[in-house]
């Protein structure tokens, strides 16, 4: 996983609530067996017309947002299907951070596993950031994970919450399987205990 | 301290609590399917890791397959074929039990888990699929995970999780004729909204929930994820135990007795604290149908399309406007007048034998309206066989429904069963998002009985006007 420390970038405004993972990456594009290459299908239904041409009205088809690394949206971002292809598509397109008032649980987890930082900020702040983002190429937004702040182009800072463990893994780009493996002995003990007390759980 | 059902299962599965409060949670059953696993197996391979407990893992193929006879001659779409072949290859390489594509037990992952007796009360169950919440109907803690977490469970049989909050949804009273678990859960989502359960695990309680059969409870828990909750659960009771006793995986002999003894301790204690409580009166629930592109945009079938101008704020107005346009509707239009092109009875929400019986009871002795394509897709091979033993397939075929092979089918636009742009469907599945059933498709979610009524009428219809003509034999 790529580490996430600080990011200063163009932000794309997507002032919508309930952006679901079917919208982020429709099911017909989930057939790849690798993690790469989903970026070209990001928001496919909104980004492309039926004949495959670009929809010029969609934000990510406009300059300078083609180069956006931050996405700002409204409530319940990433709801619906558990597909991790959603953060993969965002990442492959170049988005490293999504800012919204709140996120659906599974999507939130999936982002942290892939070096995409979900930043939770109050609705009013998201509205301000969307206004900033709408100014286009000159408006850079900074996300500093170490200090847990988002910095507006005018210098105003907004603190955001993040779990300590997740922050640590993200700052260092660590794989959590390796971390968990360090607890292998405890898992062995748990299994031995369970086998004795609930033998029916061990089936072939 | 009194504990909830969720607390009890959680506490019984914490292997270790990390310094920041995250728990290393033991996973009893890991279900897998072809869409969300290839990258996880790749990760294992790259790190030289294996599956820690293959016997606690079970794979099945459901999302990509055709539901017509073509499944017997091979998958046509090369990418779908590759995804399926990849799961088959990974199962062999990593020693994971897999239900073969043409096995009679094949079916949708959330139908087969309970049906085979693999999903049991008190378990922790995960799958790379948000509708894993379905298995909570067994009195288990079951939730969807992403592919990285699939890899984590394969390698360690555990997950890093933070505890959820407890929410109780209490549904008391009796459901009226024509209403089912689907109508309950749609009404719940309509009430709490699609983010109403975020951060919570919902336990459903009340006599209307107790009165549901296991299929009804699975429908309710299945759609819990549409209310934003991590999981839905129903405390195990005699209905649960009787259901399990009939499954092939039920513990036997002394194991059954000791399992039963533990299961009986699971229901939430008197006085257990819930962070949030929502109550609904079952007798006030009318047959429900969604009109918009989010499951929370649901109304009784007697309702009319809302007017965006009546929205409380500008964001909501814009949202409603977009939905009305996408769905091809006029504000004020009666839902019952909306003509449907396709009727889909299936998906992990409503494809069990009870669902098919409900549809057949309405369809028997009647006929699908001209110009409507109506399909019934059983949730598994075992459901299909049972329906055929009961003659339900003949009733449905005679009424003009297609009787198909098990799979996810038109629940998501991933396999050959898709809506065409602009087509309107009455669907028993769980998501009405834009393009969910195919780009440009328009989905109305409803119960199997309501779907059958829509097929007969050729438009959304009130199932209460379609009393069964004759009893199913
Ligand atoms: S039936 Fe639909 S919701 Fe259920 S597992 Fe298949 S695709 Fe997902």
**What is the Cα–Cα distance from B379 to B396, expressed in whole angstroms?**
16
Cβ(B222)–Cβ(B430) below 8 Å: yes
Q: What pLDDT does residue A204 have? A: 43
Give the 3-state secondary structure of residue A10. Answer: strand
Contact B315 A17 (CB under 8 A): yes
Pairing of strands A70-73, B402-403: unpaired
Dump pLDDT digits (tens) for A114-144.
Answer: 999 999 999 999 999 999 999 988 889 999 9
* pLDDT tens-digit map of B188-220: 999 999 999 999 999 999 999 999 999 999 999
CA B12 to chain A, closest CA, distance in angstroms equals 10
pLDDT, chain B, mean: 96
ipTM score of the complex? Answer: 0.92
Residue B27 pLDDT exceeds 80:
yes
Nearest to B90 by CA among B130, B153, B156, B45: B45
Distance of CA B172 to the CA centre of its chain: 22
Q: Which residues of A touch B47 (CB under 8 A)?
A: 175, 177
- The strand pair at B402-403 and B23-26 is best described as unpaired
Query: Mean pLDDT across the stretch A135-156?
Result: 94
For the record, the structure tokens of A73 come out as 């949206």
The model's confidence at residue B226, banded by pLDDT at 50, 70 and 90, is very high
Distance CA B46, CA B387 (A): 45
**For residue A203, what pLDDT is reported?**
59
Per-residue model confidence as pLDDT tens digits over B38-90:
999 999 998 899 999 999 999 999 999 999 988 888 899 999 999 999 999 99
CA-proximal residue: ligand 1, atom 4 (nearest): B348
Is pLDDT at B129 greater than 80 in this prediction? yes
What is the rounded distance in angstroms from the CA atom of residue B247 to the CA atom of residue B243? 7
What are the pLDDT digits (tens) for A33-92?
999 899 999 999 999 998 999 999 999 999 999 999 999 999 999 999 999 999 999 999
pLDDT at B473: 64
Of the pLDDT bands very low, low, confident and very high (cuts 50, 70, 90), residue A9 is very high
C-alpha–C-alpha distance, residues B24 and B55, integer Å: 20
Q: Which of B14, B99, B133, B160 to mutate to test the interface with A (most CBs of A within 10 A)?
A: B160
* Helical residues (DSSP H) of B213-363, grouped into ranges: 214-222, 238-245, 253-263, 314-326, 353-363
Q: Mutate which of B125, B406, B408 to test ligand 1's pocket (most atoms within 8 Å of Cβ)?
A: B408
Give the residues across from B105 on adjacent strands.
Answer: none
Tokens 């299945």 sit on residue: B222
Decide: residue A51, CB within 10 A, 0-12 exposed, 13-18 middle, 19+ buried: exposed
Give CA angle at B231 (B251, B288), nearest 5°: 110
Distances (CA, A) of B452 to B343, B357, B402, B459: 8, 11, 12, 10
- DSSP annotation of A75 reads S
Q: Residue A64: what pLDDT? A: 94
β-bridge pairing B424-427 and B442-445: parallel
pLDDT bucket at B428, cuts 50 / 70 / 90: very high
Per-residue confidence band for B463, with pLDDT thresholds at 50, 70 and 90 = very high
The verdict on a CB contact (< 8 Å) between B148 and A45 is no
Separation in Å, CA of A5 to nearest CA in chain B: 20
**What's the rounded Cα separation, in Å, for the pair B32 and B360?**
31
Mean pLDDT across B150-159: 98
């Amino acid at each position: 996983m790529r580490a996430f420390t600080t990011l200063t970038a163009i932000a794309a405004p997507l002032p919508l609530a309930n952006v679901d993972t079917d919208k982020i990456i429709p099911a017909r594009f989930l057939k790849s067996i690798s993690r790469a290459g989903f970026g070209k299908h990001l928001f496919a239904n909104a980004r492309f017309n039926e004949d495959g041409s670009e929809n010029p009205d969609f934000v990510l088809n406009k300059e300078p947002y083609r180069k956006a690394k931050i996405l700002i949206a409204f409530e319940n971002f990433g709801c619906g299907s558990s597909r991790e292809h959603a953060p993969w598509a965002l990442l492959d397109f170049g988005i490293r951070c999504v800012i919204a008032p709140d996120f659906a649980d599974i999507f939130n987890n999936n982002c942290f596993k892939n070096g995409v930082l979900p930043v939770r900020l109050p609705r009013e702040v998201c509205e301000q950031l969307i206004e900033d983002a709408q100014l286009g190429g000159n408006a850079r937004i900074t996300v500093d994970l170490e200090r847990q702040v988002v910095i507006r182009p005018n210098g105003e800072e907004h603190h955001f919450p993040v779990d300590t463990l997740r922050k640590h893994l993200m700052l260092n780009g660590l794989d959590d399987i390796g971390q968990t493996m360090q607890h292998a002995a405890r898992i062995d003990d748990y299994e031995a205990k369970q086998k004795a007390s609930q033998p029916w759980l061990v089936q072939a | 301290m009194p504990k909830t059902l969720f607390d009890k299962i959680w506490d019984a599965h914490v292997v270790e609590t990390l310094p920041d409060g995250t728990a290393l949670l033991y996973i009893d059953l890991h279900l897998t399917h072809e869409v969300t696993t290839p990258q996880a197996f790749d990760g294992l391979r790259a790190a030289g890791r294996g599956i820690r407990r293959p016997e606690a893992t079970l794979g099945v193929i459901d999302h990509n397959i055709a539901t017509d006879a073509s499944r017997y001659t091979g998958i046509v779409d090369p990418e779908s074929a590759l995804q399926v072949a990849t799961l088959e290859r990974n199962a062999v390489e990593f020693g994971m039990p897999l239900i073969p594509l043409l096995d009679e037990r094949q079916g949708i992952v959330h139908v087969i888990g309970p049906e085979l007796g693999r999903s049991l009360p008190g378990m922790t169950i995960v799958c790379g699929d948000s509708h894993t919440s379905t298995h909570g109907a067994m009195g288990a803690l079951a939730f969807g995970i992403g592919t990285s977490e699939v890899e984590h469970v394969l390698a360690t049989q555990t997950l890093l999780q933070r505890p959820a909050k407890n929410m109780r949804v209490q549904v008391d009273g009796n459901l009226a004729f024509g209403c089912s678990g689907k109508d309950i859960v749609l009404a719940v989502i309509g009430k709490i909204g699609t983010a109403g359960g975020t951060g919570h695990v919902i336990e459903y309680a009340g006599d209307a929930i107790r009165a549901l059969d296991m299929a009804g409870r699975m429908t309710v828990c299945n759609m819990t994820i549409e209310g934003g909750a991590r999981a839905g659960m129903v405390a195990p009771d005699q209905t649960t135990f009787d259901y399990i006793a009939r499954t092939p995986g039920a513990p036997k002999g002394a194991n059954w007795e000791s399992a039963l003894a533990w299961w009986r301790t699971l229901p939430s204690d008197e006085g257990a604290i819930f962070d949030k409580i929502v109550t609904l009166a079952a007798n006030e629930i009318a047959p429900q149908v969604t009109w918009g592109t989010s499951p929370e945009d649901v109304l009784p079938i007697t309702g009319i399309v809302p007017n965006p101008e009546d929205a409380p704020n500008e964001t909501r107005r814009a949202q409603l406007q977009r939905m009305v346009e996408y769905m091809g509707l006029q504000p004020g239009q009666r839902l019952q007048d909306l003509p449907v092109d396709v009727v889909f009875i299936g998906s992990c929400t409503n494809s069990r034998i009870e669902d098919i019986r409900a549809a057949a009871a309405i369809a028997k002795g009647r006929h699908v309206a001209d110009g409507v394509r109506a399909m019934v897709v059983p949730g598994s091979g075992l459901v299909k066989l049972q329906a055929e033993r009961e003659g339900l397939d003949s009733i449905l075929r005679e009424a003009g429904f297609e009787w198909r092979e098990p799979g996810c089918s038109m629940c998501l636009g991933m396999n050959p069963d898709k809506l065409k742009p602009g087509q309107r469907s009455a669907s028993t599945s769980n998501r009405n998002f834009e393009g969910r059933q195919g780009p440009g498709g328009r989905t109305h979610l409803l119960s199997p009985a309501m779907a059958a009524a829509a097929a007969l009428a050729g438009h959304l219809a009130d199932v209460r006007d379609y009393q069964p003509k004759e009893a199913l034999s």
